[in-house]
Amino acid sequence: MDSKELILQRSNEAKEIFLPNLSADPVIFGFDQNELKVLLLKMNYRHQWFLPGGYVKRDEDLDDAVLRILRERAGVNAVSYLEEFAVFGKTNRSEAYFEDFDETLFHKQRFITIGYYALYNPSIIDLTKDEYSESCEWINVGQLPDIEMAMDHKEIVEKALLTLREKISIKPIGFNLLPDKFTLSELQKLYEAILGKELNRGNFYRKIKNMGILKKLDEQRKGGAHKAPDLYSFDEEIYTKALENGLVSW
């Protein structure tokens, strides 16, 4: 079955299962090799890049729909800090992509989409593409200007990145992208990757330590040519409060 036949077949099924005119598009950020990445699918039909989005079942809560969509479309489970951040509803935002089909196609109806963003550690998942996709990959955010994305999905990613940058200044939301034990240098590289700029080392270390959410471990990172740096972990209780109430000292 080719990609157009598959879309036609699934369209008839979708009309019975999903709410009309409402979709969800989650932007999943990951941090790997000191780079901020976003999870994208390359579709068989028209070979453009998409967010791993989808539709909402008639008897399904919206948040539950997003988790199901991520599981079905990319094999992603147990995302952290899943949050709505915007609504996208320009006319013809999705209809034009399916211009090769007639007006009865479910996917070609006007869809208002809810943008979510979430964080996931790429090292703990084997990505699984769905039947609509030829690949499922982590793409460096720095590459996004050079790739062709369908619909308004590039705009959605850009808005999600702006939201993430604003949020990380008041809540430690990106910290789960690090291993359980990490150095201050690794934490700084995470912040720099998200913010898209270099930070002063001394000022960053002072501000991070003033948060009070780190625990210095009696261990060092071994294997480097220089003095082994100290390892840290998060004080789970204080970290949880900071997620709920924000950071006081940043």
CATH code, domain carrying 241: 1.10.10.10
Residues 31 and 110 in one domain: yes
CA 153 to chain centre: 12
Write the secondary structure of 115-151 as one string of H (helix), E (strand) and C (coil): EEEEECCHHHCCCCCCCCEEEEEEEEHHHHHHCCECC
CATH code, domain carrying 146: 3.90.79.10
The residue range of the domain holding 196 is 175-245
Q: How much is the pLDDT for 174?
A: 74
pLDDT single digits (tens) 26-42: 999 998 888 999 999 99
pLDDT single digits (tens) 96-147: 899 999 999 999 999 999 999 998 878 777 788 899 999 999 999 999 999 9
Residues 69 and 91 in one domain: yes
Closest by CA position to 52, among listed 16, 23, 18: 23
pLDDT single digits (tens) 3-16: 999 999 999 999 99
Q: Please give the Cα distance from 203 to 172 (Å, whole number).
A: 17
Residues 96 and 216 in one domain: no
pTM of the predicted model as reported, rounded to 2 decimal places:
0.89
Is 250 domain-assigned?
no
